[in-house]
Structure formats: structure tokens, C-alpha cells
Structure 1
Amino acid sequence: MNENAKSREHDISQPLDRLNPDERMKAESDFLRGTIGSGLGDKITGAVPDASDVKLMKFHGIYQQDDRDLRDERRRQKLEPAYQFMIRVRLPGGVCSTAQWLKLDELARAHGGETLRLTTRQTFQFHWVLKDRLRPLIQGLHEALLDTIAACGDDSRGVMCTVDPACSSMHAEVAALAKRVSDHVIPRTRGYHEIWYGEERVATSEQEEPFYGRTYMPRKFKIGFALPPSNDIDVYAQDLGFIAIGDKTGLRGFNVAIGGGMGRTDKAPQTYPRLADVIGFVTADRLLDCAEAVMGVQRDYGDRKDRQRARFKYTIDDKGLDWIKGEIERRMSAPFETARPFHFDSNGDRFGWVKTEDGRWHFTLFIENGRVSGPLLDGLRAIARIHHGAFRLTPNQNLIIAGVAEEDKAAIEAVLDEYRLTEQAASVIRRNSIACVAFPTCGLAMAESERYLPGLITKIEAMLGQKGLADEPITIRMSGCPNGCSRPYIAEIGLTGRAPGKYNLYLGGGFHGQRLNRMICENVGEEAILGALDQAFTKYANERENGERFGDFCIRAGMVREVTEGRLFNES
């Protein structure tokens, strides 16, 4: 990205003392270097001692955390928290080679508590990494041609791409474009290479970040590519979504959707989730120009005083969609074409074996909440040693063993059987569930999520079975806080943490991510959650129409009012 720095209004027209502290921190960071290098060498503490460095490390894909299960006990013993780090890998489109998988497995066993976490944005997270293990782990990733650049921070996050095997005829082309966009929009600072790879610093100037400048983006910026009819990436939850449009001759281009985002803050009605608006169509050759123009508008006009209102969705609502669209077109030097017809029918995964038109087999493996450890870790390592295709991480925290040749299928099946990876009694609702990590590692968590949702689903499964709804696909998502990493606000059943054991309950989202839900219970425990769901399921079982989805029924039956736009989400 090389747009002239003079277009960055936030760099030339707003004095830093009028901006929020994070903007000043970025501007004074020496392009994300800060004092991270010296902080890593501090042997007195398990933390990075400078608070600004902790924030800057997010741009390097690293979150400083501590074991919250031990926090109170260590405080009583007058010990510092049990600091450790989460590292997130940049993996455009969720495509991973078998060699890369084996390296990730090796690093997880050596430095990451013998576990990998598959995320809702199609990448890997390492948890439980100690400070002195950060450089060895990142250097190990580098050996596998992987990095963690821009996996967090105020920049373009990991770029997503549909992985549904049924879309594989165009998948390779769109996945390649997703990687090209990812490589195009990451920060250019050489600070990452100096700190983590030990490279020498060369002379730098303002041109070290020709697009981002000194203060990068106002907040994180998320991009995703969807291939209809699968909306597995939840394209309407992206700041910038590209919806692939093709015909018998192949890929024609993309419908462009802008302004999605899930994060909100409880008791702050000026914050809300929002679905993206489709504003037009671009041909594939204009893709990079479009991405750069959209990001440039948000870079220049996003709120840099109030971080709660700094996401692109608020910029659009404050400026107006028509104005934003016109500004994007001005920067592209061409108008959008009229959006092309498309349709989505799901945002879930197809499990088991699927054969595609190229004669290849793909096996989608259910991985509850994306946690890979124990026999599952061992079994996938065994598969990676014999598999000649690739792995694809799905946006629903599952894994596709992709591109299996006919002659190799039996060998893969034998390993799946040996490690009992196919012996899954996962119900339909469990397979349509997502949870964020939450406790004990996430510093933002207010309530359990990954550790709690499986048990809650067991109770919901019994309820559905009693009402004859066991085979009805219903999406359910849980986050340990209102930030919405599991995209709960577009689920048919959404739960967000408020305090230990307490959640907000939402109903009425769209089955394939096309509609926001609405809160029906605030700050309630399990008994109230199950009671509300029991009433809703009973009504659904008795009054639903043929083929009617649960979320659609909740609105038609008057259990919740439809949310027509994000700004109305918090209305009672």
C-alpha cells in the first residue's frame, strides 16, 4: 500500500494532545518498536514491564495475559500474576500446508502448553507462552513461512475466506486473492523483523509506513471473502466484505459490503453491533484499489478521540452511507457497478467426507470450540505426516482435511479411526455452536465461555430432544464479554458474559448471518436462560411453519422485534 501520506488527515490536521492516549502512544512508538526489545530481556518479571509496549505487541500478534484461575491466590501470596502470552498467527483464508501444521504442532508442544486453538477468524492461537519463549516460537513460525504480523492491533486483521468444499471450483482463485489482499494491507514496519528475527535496523523515515503513517488505523479493521451460497465467514460482520460473483466461465468479481462489526459495550448505548451494507460490484482487477480506498476512508475519517466509537461502522453511520460510498469511489477514480444477484443459505460447515468435481475428497472434522489437544493433537499430527493435500481452518472453529486423493483416502480414514476422531456424538446444535476462549486466559472475559458452553449445550440438547427438535439446526454462540469475538449478535441464540455465571441472552438472529438478534434477558444465570429457551422451543415446536428457521420464527411469533439496523439494537 503506497497512498501518499498527505491524504492522512489524522496525521496532519489533528494535534496529538487532542487525540486519545492510544493515538499518542502509536505516534511515539517509532513505528511499533517502542521498548519491546529491552522489555523482553527483563528477567525480574514475567511480564513486559512497559504498559505501552503491551499495547504495541498486539500489532505483532501478541497479547500479554495471565492465568485468571490463579490471580486471587497469587495476590494473597503477594506474587505477581502468572503472566503468559497469547500468540495469534496470520493465516490468510485459513489455508495451512501439512508442513506448516507439523511445525505448529511442534511449537505448541514445546512452548504452548501442548494445545492449539482454532479461532473464529480461521487461524491459530498459542496460549500459555512464557516471555522467554516468545522469540523461539515466532522464529519457529518464520521457518514455516508463517508470521504474526497484524494478527491484532489497529490495522487490518487476518483476511478470511470461505472454505466450504462445495465451493472449491473457485476457492483456489479467491483464496489466492485473499492472501494477496492480506499481504497488501499489513504494516510495513521493519520493527517486527528487528525485534523477533534479530535483523539489523536500517535507516527509516516517514515512508516506513506509506499507507498507515505514524498512527495506523483508528481501530482494528476486518476483511473477509465469501463464496455464495456459503456465508461461513459471516461477511456481514466484516468491516469490508467481498462476496464472490461467478458464472460458468469463472470468477467475475465481487459485490462489496462495508460497515459490519460485532463489538459493543454494555451500558453504553452509543455502541452497537452492525451488519455490513452491500454498496456495489467491482471486477477482480480492481480489488486492491477498492480495499485500499475503503481502508483509506476509515483511516482518515475514523474517530481517533473516542475508541469506543472508532470502528468503521460508526464512521459510516456518522458520515452517512452515501457519503462514504462516494468518497470510496473518488479514491478508486471510478464508480461501483450495480451489485450482482447472489444468495446465501447457511453459515455452517458440512461435516464428514465430501467429493468435489476435481475428484478430490475433503473431510470436515468437528472440533468443539476449536480446542486441539490430547488425542486430537496426536491424531492430526499423524494425519499431517501422511497427507498430501492441505488443511483448511473454518470460521466455525472446525478443520477440513482438504484435497485428499482417491488413493490416499483409505490411509486418512485409518488414522481417523485409530485416534477415534470420527466417533463424535455431536448433536446438530453442538455442531452449530461457537465459543470464544474467555477464562482463564482472556483479560477481557467477564464470564466463562469455552469451558462452559459444552455443558450448557448438553442441557439444551435434552430439551430439544423432548420437543422433537433434536435434528433442527439452530445457531448458538457464546462470548465471555460483550466484545463479540464469537459473533454472537447474529446467532439465532446469542449469549454474552456480564459476570461470573451471568449472561445476556439474545434471540432472533439470521440462520446464515443476515440479521441481528435482540436481547430478551439481561444479566441472568443458567436457570433463567434455560427457562427462556424452554418457552421459546415449546412455542417453536408447536407453531413453526414448514422449513421455518428458529430465528425467523422468534420474530414472526413476536418473541422479539426485528432489528432493522445496528443503531436500533439497544432499544428495549
Structure 2
Amino acid sequence: MSEKKLSDNERMKRESNFLRGTIVDGLADRMTGGFSADNFQLIRFHGMYQQDDRDVRAERAKQKLEPIHNVMLRARMPGGIITPTQWLAIDKFAEEHSLYGSIRLTTRQTFQFHGVLKPNIKLMHQTLNQIGIDSIATAGDVNRNVLCTSNPVESELHQEAYEWAKKISEHLLLKTRAYAEIWLDGEKLETTDEEPILGNTYLPRKFKTTVVLPPQNDVDVHANDLNFVAIAEQGKLVGFNVLVGGGLAMTHGDKSTYPRKADDFGFIPLENTLDIAAAVVTTQRDWGNRSNRKNAKTKYTLDRVGVDVFKAEVEKRAGIVFTQSRPYEFTGRGDRFGWVEGIDGKHHLTLFIENGRLLDYLGKPLKTGVAEIAKVHKGDFRMTANQNLIVAGVDAKDKKQIENIAREYGLLDNRVSEQRKNSMACVSFPTCPLAMAEAERFLPEFVTDVERVLGKHGLGQDENIILRVTGCPNGCGRAMLAEIGLVGKAPGRYNLHIGGNRSGTRIPKMYRENITVAQITEEIDLLVGRWAVERESGEDFGDFTIRAEIIEPVLVSKRDFYAQFRIV
């Protein structure tokens, strides 16, 4: 670890008494709707971010009023599976105790509550606890919600992968009793807290883990620190290829930050999974940069010490040697919408939820519709890493009833284009404090513009481009793995990135910087016009931009991402 002065977050974690801080006192303070000082950061380890409504912030400041402080909570749901009973409980809480009344499905394969005021925070955690859900370690410098490919077809294989996602989540989870003591009125034990894997000051930065089932890369492995790529033989899971060091966040104007693909360390048998997970995490714990948080993620540690050195340390700590990676291929990462039948004879309905936002819109009561399905559904729901929802495990005799409800409430609409289904955005305004430009509220109308461009050049509804928008460069919408990625720079202005691919294994490169929406639409019009005329048979948009030398590929992020790009 660097001998430079540690960041203040390190002091905060060290002095927090294993993440307790003075959160209890802050919760009781009714003079403010927010949390102050260290508690503002510490509540993140408990799964919450303090936010306010930025649409009214300036007006309230003029009136000398405090911002409308509230929290966003992100649940811990390894693999994104939730029961109908649990769903009805979170639906009821969102309706009765949040400012916005919505449930949001996230790119981290879980749900978020937005707009929960301080008097309702403890009730929120206790409500979740009563139905077997928590929000431990879904934010902060820890291993976060573990993703798993949402595979409704190969049910037995998916079940094995899902079980490993749960095991990994539990193995890497916080051990402190702070969450239970503060939110669930847990008994304060006279014991010494220990964090054998995460360490007493936790990790240098956030850490993300996935379990993925090829050929679908729906969890976007290259956006994550640690990835277990499932290898199956004769329909049984035999082990994992381990990919380490992916991450998409960067900082505008700071070329020491960049998105990065994960490196393939090799293959391990199933019995070594937890040991390897712990070894990767502890190596990053001990070697990660605790002085500069902008360079604290695993991807920077690998580039600083060298991939081979990091890998050797993991092998040493785990007492395991990686063998040569087993072959696999990613052929796509989108969700399979509509009905599919699994090998077990069960049926699964994937519903498109634009931006993951479940709310009752005028003429389209989506949130109520999912609740109505939950009242009769005998299987489970699966939240996808693409912000959609799968009604899973439906008997053939129940299909018609489920589909009728979905259509009645606007959850199933055959008119939705492939372009819309393959577009995604982060939350951004009005709640995210990091937002620089619109994303979620901007995307629907912008997709309509892109649909018009595709139609103008003779490309039908089946044609699409992987399109993603983030309101800032922190990467929540995974724009740095899109064929077209927009990254917010200022209100109404974005950096335009192109050149990613459909399988999510290539990072796009900046093509135009800090341009308006009108300029972006004009650029896409020109590019799509060329693609429609010049592409080879079956050639996707991102691949075309590379082959046509419109943009140069990012092969090594640290070297290529900021290198002078070519414009044709």
C-alpha cells in the first residue's frame, strides 16, 4: 500500500466502530432531515445514499429552507430472485412510505426505494427484514450485490450458478453487527468485531462480483472487479473461468482514470470458488490505493502492480493454481423478451421495463400490474441486470392469466422496438447527487429520435444498436460497454462514445466531446447512414465503426482509451 497520506474515508472507516459511527444519534436528530459528517458516508455501508430532489433544491435555498433530504435504499438480492410475497411487501412500502411511490429495478439486479424520509428509514429496514431481505453492503467500500445471469431456460444449470452467487455473497459479506443493532434493534453484544476478509477498515473502494452463464453476458462481466464464468460439461457445472479487474467509472479531465476490461486469470474447479473469491478480495484489500480514491479500484491495482503479480498473489493466498481457461463464447447480453419454455417444462415471461422504473403512469399502471401478477403467481420473479423483470416458473395452465394481466396493465406491448429494448440509462436527475446531465428522463424521447434515424435509412424495427446513457462518468448505466454510449458532461451536453460491441467485450472510445443532443442526433444520423449502406452481411454497428476506421478500437484501456481518435 502507498505510504502517501490516506484519504479521509480511511479515517472515517477506522473511527467508525465497525460502521456504527453515530448513526443512531443522527437518526434521532429531528432538527434536520439528513445525516451529517461521517454518517453521511457510513449509511452507504448499510445500503443507503442520502439524496434530495434537485428539481426544487435551488428554490428551497432561496426560501432559506433545507433541501428535502431523503434516502435511496438498494436491496441485497444475490442473483436478483424475489418471491411474489416479498414483492407485494416492497410494493406496499413504496406506495405508502416513499416520496415517489415507485420501485426501480437496477443494473445491479436488485430494486431500489427512492425518496424515503428519515422517520421511515428504520421502518423500511424492519419491513425488509420481516420478509427476509436486507440492504447490507449494497454500497460503500465492500463487495456489493452479487449478480448472476438471469437464465430462465436451462433451469438446473441456472440454479447451480445462482446458489454459487448466494454463497459468494454470504462469504464476502460484512461480519459487523452494526446493521442489526442500528436498524433491527439487535442486541449489543460485548464482543470484538472482526472482518477477516474485508478487513477492519474494509476495502479501498467498492467491489463488484458476478456469476455469468455463457453464452449470455447479461451481467456485463467487464464492468466488474471479479467474475466467475460458468463452465458446464454434460449439463453440469464443473467450475469457473475467473476474470478480474473490470470497471467502467472514470473522471472527466483526469486521464489517470479510465474504463477497463477484466483479465482472464484461468480456470478453477467448483470447490475452489470461495477460496479464490476471498483471495482476490484480500489482495485488493491489502494492495489497493488508499490515498487516492479515484485510483482505488481493482482495475488500477492490476495495472499498477501487473496482472501476473496480482494473479500470483491470489494463487499464493488461496493455495490454488489456476489452470488454462476453458473455452466459452458470449453471443449476446440482452434479455429474451416474451415467453420462453425451460427444460423443466416451466414457462417464463420477460417483461420490458423502460429504465427499470415501476410506477403507475397515466394509461400504463406498471407498478399495479406487477402487484396484480404477484397476487396470483406461483413461481418467482427475477430482476435482470438490464433493468427488466422475468415472471419465472409459470405452469402452462397459468400462462394465459399471467399474460392477460401483463397486457392489461401495459407490461407487455408488442409495439416496443428492439432499439428501445436494447437501450438503458442510469437514474441521474432529479435524485442522484452526482448527475451532470439527464439520463433516465432523457432516454425515452432520445430512443424515439434514434428509431426515426434507423427508419430513415431503411432499417426496420428488428435492427438496433446497443445504446446507453449515463448522467455522469461513474458508469452506473454501463455506457462504456455500449455500441453508442453517452456520458453526461453538463445539462443538455454529453460525450459521445462509439465502437463497443454487442457481446460487451470491447470498450467504446470518445468520438465527440461535450456536444448537444441535436449534435449527437446529427452524428448518429451520419453514422447510421454509412452503416446502412456500407456494412457487411450481419455486421453490427459497433463492429462496422471499427472496420470502417471511423474510430480506433480500445485494446488496452490504459494505453488506448485517451489516444488520439481518428475521424473519417
Identify the TM-score tier after normalising by the shorter chain: over 0.9
- Give the SS at the match of 1:208: coil
Distance 1:565 1:167, change over 3 A: farther
User: Is 1:410 aligned with 2:385?
Assistant: no
| Among 477, 484, 503, the residue aligned to 2:475 | 484
Deviation sequence 1:338-386 (CA, Å, 0-9, x none): 1000001001011000011110000000000000011111111011011
> Aligned residue for 2:562?
570
| Among 378, 382, 391, the residue aligned to 2:368 | 378
- Give the SS at the match of 1:308: helix
The CA distance in 1 between the partners of 2:440 and 2:562, in whole Å, is 26
The CA distance in 2 between the partners of 1:417 and 1:557, in whole Å, is 43
**Conserved? CA contact 2:332–2:503, under 8 Å:** yes
User: Is 1:423 aligned with 2:432?
Assistant: no
User: Is 1:498 aligned with 2:484?
Assistant: no
- Give the SS at the match of 1:79: coil
Unaligned runs of 5+ in 1: 1-9
User: Is 1:220 aligned with 2:206?
Assistant: yes
Task: Return the offset for 1:424.
Answer: 4.8
**Two-structure CA RMSD over aligned residues (Å):** 1.2
The CA distance in 1 between the partners of 2:303 and 2:413, in whole Å, is 48
| Among 68, 78, 90, the residue aligned to 2:54 | 68
Alignment of 1:141-290 (within 5 A): 141-205=128-192, 207-290=193-276
The CA distance in 2 between the partners of 1:496 and 1:128, in whole Å, is 25
Amino acid at match of 1:529: I
The CA distance in 2 between the partners of 1:350 and 1:484, in whole Å, is 24
Task: Return the offset for 1:566.
Answer: 1.4
- Give the SS at the match of 1:126: strand
The CA distance in 2 between the partners of 1:309 and 1:249, in whole Å, is 41
Deviation sequence 1:61-94 (CA, Å, 0-9, x none): 0000010000110011111111111000000011
Task: Return the offset for 1:473.
Answer: 2.7
- Give the SS at the match of 1:34: coil
Task: Return the offset for 1:302.
Answer: 0.1
The CA distance in 1 between the partners of 2:445 and 2:477, in whole Å, is 17
TM-score when normalising by structure 1: 0.96
> Aligned residue for 1:466?
456
> Aligned residue for 2:447?
457
**Conserved? CA contact 1:164–1:349, under 8 Å:** no
**Conserved? CA contact 2:194–2:200, under 8 Å:** no
- Give the SS at the match of 1:286: helix
The CA distance in 2 between the partners of 1:226 and 1:473, in whole Å, is 24
> Aligned residue for 1:475?
466
Point out the more displaced range, 356-365 or 467-476: 467-476
> Aligned residue for 1:46?
33
The CA distance in 1 between the partners of 2:216 and 2:441, in whole Å, is 28
Point out the more displaced range, 83-92 or 158-167: 158-167
Amino acid at match of 1:45: T
The CA distance in 2 between the partners of 1:473 and 1:400, in whole Å, is 22
Amino acid at match of 2:213: L
Amino acid at match of 1:189: T
- Give the SS at the match of 2:145: coil
The CA distance in 1 between the partners of 2:296 and 2:57, in whole Å, is 31
User: Is 1:322 aligned with 2:318?
Assistant: no
> Aligned residue for 2:13?
26
The CA distance in 1 between the partners of 2:557 and 2:249, in whole Å, is 11
TM-score when normalising by structure 2: 0.97
Task: Return the offset for 1:151.
Answer: 0.5
Unaligned runs of 5+ in 2: none
- Give the SS at the match of 1:298: helix
The CA distance in 2 between the partners of 1:420 and 1:39, in whole Å, is 42
| Among 552, 557, 564, the residue aligned to 1:561 | 552
After the TM superposition, list the runs of 4 or more consecutive aligned residues in structure 1 that deviate by more than 6 angstroms: none
> Aligned residue for 1:522?
513
- Give the SS at the match of 1:29: coil
**Conserved? CA contact 1:231–1:347, under 8 Å:** yes
Task: Return the offset for 1:249.
Answer: 4.6
> Aligned residue for 1:56?
42
Task: Return the offset for 1:512.
Answer: 1.0
The CA distance in 1 between the partners of 2:343 and 2:210, in whole Å, is 25
Deviation sequence 1:186-238 (CA, Å, 0-9, x none): 11110111110111211132x43222222100000000011000000001221
**Conserved? CA contact 1:508–1:554, under 8 Å:** yes
> Aligned residue for 1:3?
none
**Conserved? CA contact 2:157–2:235, under 8 Å:** no
The CA distance in 2 between the partners of 1:381 and 1:306, in whole Å, is 45
**Conserved? CA contact 2:199–2:285, under 8 Å:** no
- Give the SS at the match of 1:257: strand
The CA distance in 2 between the partners of 1:540 and 1:166, in whole Å, is 34
Point out the more displaced range, 134-143 or 106-115: 106-115
> Aligned residue for 1:388?
378
The CA distance in 1 between the partners of 2:491 and 2:155, in whole Å, is 43
Amino acid at match of 2:369: G
The CA distance in 2 between the partners of 1:357 and 1:508, in whole Å, is 36
- Give the SS at the match of 1:264: coil
The CA distance in 2 between the partners of 1:102 and 1:180, in whole Å, is 26
**Conserved? CA contact 1:290–1:328, under 8 Å:** yes
